[in-house]
Chain A
Amino acid sequence: MNRSLRKQVGAVATWLLTFLLMVIICVPGLWVVLTAFRPNGEVLAKPPVWIPENPSLNNFAKIFGYGADQVAIPVPAYFANSLIIALTSTVIALLIGMSGGYAFARYRFRFKNGLFLGLMLSRTVPGIALSLPIFMIWSRIGLIDAKMGLIIVYVAMNVPFTIWLIDGFFRQIPKEMSEAAQVDGCTRWQAFWKIEFPLAKSGIASAGIFAFLTSWNEYALASNLTRSTDSKTLPVGLMDFTAQFTIDWAGMSAMAVIIIIPALILTFLVQKHLIAGLTFGGVKG
């Protein structure tokens, strides 16, 4: 009797804690999403309006340049820049990461641990600290406010982590499989593309998604290396709203939703592989 009562109390406590946790995780984001669908007047209303009374897509239309009162923030250009920069840097980082990850997973060589540590340490340099010298060098070679300038930086930012993940995925594939293919007459190159690559494909895709998100979300470097619609990305553009004296909360929230939607979709796709990759690469190293 006493035992079952204690069990029930435990179960209720578990559910209460879980509920509280989900509220803390979800409410701030939901509030931003709700705000994206209400007029700015409602944001400022006292007493507060909890559920939007007339939800509309006006804020989205406005920041994309439709509607009566245009906001002078070129969101479509920022969106295109973000997409181009994130995609290009992801593809390049994946190519470099595959080649490096394969080397770590399949070969024994001198300085292996040292090289790995060196790659990881290069990733620890705080973005803002790295931005100072890159700003000075880029401005001398004309890469300031150029998409290429950011792409190069993001490739370097993503390579170490991509190598870590892809290394882990290649290790999960037994060496014997490609060795068998080589015995049967494949070259190592063919064995890689016919055996190992197809097996590691989903893992590599999730490493790619992770790299994409890192570039998509980056702010510290982008805010200092970009100037205009030529290269400004969405996170930098978000700050345009606060440059004015009055903050356009509704417009800013709409833009926040635009930034977060691709990230959320990709999170759903990536979650399983990402966890597997991180833990496997780390523990079994």
Chain B
Amino acid sequence: MANKRPPFWQREQYTPFLLLLPAVLTLLFVVLLPLLFSLYTSFTGYRLIRPESLWQWVGLRNYKRIFADGDFWVAFGRTIIFLTIALNLEFLLGLGIALLINKITWGQRTLRTIMMFPMMFSPILVGYQFKFVFNDNIGILNNALQALGLSDGAIPWLVDKYLANFSIIFAEVWMSTSVFAILLLAGLFAMPRDPLEAAKVDGCNPWQVFRHITLPFLMPFVFIAMTIRSLDVARAYDIVDVMTGGGPAGRTELLWTMIARVGYDNARMGQANAMAYVSILLSIAFTYYFFTKLLAARKYMGGAE
């Protein structure tokens, strides 16, 4: 009688939850719990040098302060512009590269492998590499320009307001375009030949074939790439930290470098956590948007569930 039903951990309907338990527990302990603590801290005047200030409730003061702070909005706006430019460039270049490599038959494998290199570079290395390339005095870019007689002075790539932001976007695009290129190439390989042939027989020109057959078929792959990218956009922090550290004079400050400066260098944890929350909401909104797009595209493709 007592052993009529198996204990709950052996019942079939609980198995998936049991299997997921370690993952859920890890994320609760390392992500959710800290985020709740950080949410609390954003309502206090916590400074690292005065531990007792952790209990000093200040309500919305941190949020009011950062929203009234011009520098914060400049960094926020720059982050949005940075993401918009970088992601669109990565998508367009990735699409172009995928179409290009799809055309090539000889040496395609090698090209694909080389294309994956930047993806595996640590962002900190990408940053260092381009700090070196763009260095005004000894960088390979200025050296090459001077050797070719295209410029006679040292162009301050990492100091000038516009050039520095350009250099950082260049590094970011260099690092992440391959995510798009690789996934879109996989999409091109998976594409059925019949509709393409049919369209050609019906007299479509190459642009029409691309616009109405290839591109719609590739869209789910675009959204996978966007979703994967949205998981790690904040890695740009590493690049900026090495290349310029947000400087000179805050000219390349992004939301993420600002959080680090306020939190660790100025030791104002409460305020930094308030900023961190803005950046978290930004990332989540971003991922959520592309994830729902992905689900919609999946349904359209007729995938399972």
Contacts and interface: CB of A to CB of B under 8 A. Distances in A.
A68 interface: no
B294 to A, nearest CB: 7
B114 A122 contact: no
Contacts of B295: 285
B30 interface: yes
A217 B126 CA distance: 11
Given A249-B138, A266-B120, A283-B301, A124 B286 contact: yes
Contacts of A213: 120
Interface residues of A, number: 90
Nearest to A152: B30
B303 A285 contact: yes
Given A99-B22, A156-B30, A217 B291 contact: no
A31 B34 contact: no
Contacts of A26: 114, 117
Interface stretch (B13-21, B70-78, B158-166): B13-21
B133 interface: yes
Interface stretch (B61-69, B84-92, B208-216, B269-277): B269-277
Contacts of A163: 23
A109 B17 contact: yes
Main secondary structure of the interface of A (DSSP, over half): helix
Chain B interface helix/strand/loop/mixed: helix
B201 interface: no
Contacts of A155: 26, 30
Interface in B94-143: 97, 100-101, 103-104, 111-125, 128-130, 132-133, 137-138, 140, 143
A195 interface: no
A126 B132 contact: no
B125 to A, nearest CB: 5
B233 to A, nearest CB: 8
A18 B35 contact: no
Nearest to A224: B264
Interface in A190-246: 213, 216-220, 223-224, 235, 238-239, 242
A30 B100 CA distance: 24
Contact of B26 (A156, A242, A252, A260): A156
6 contacts: A48-B140, A109-B13, A126-B234, A126-B276, A129-B259, A130-B31
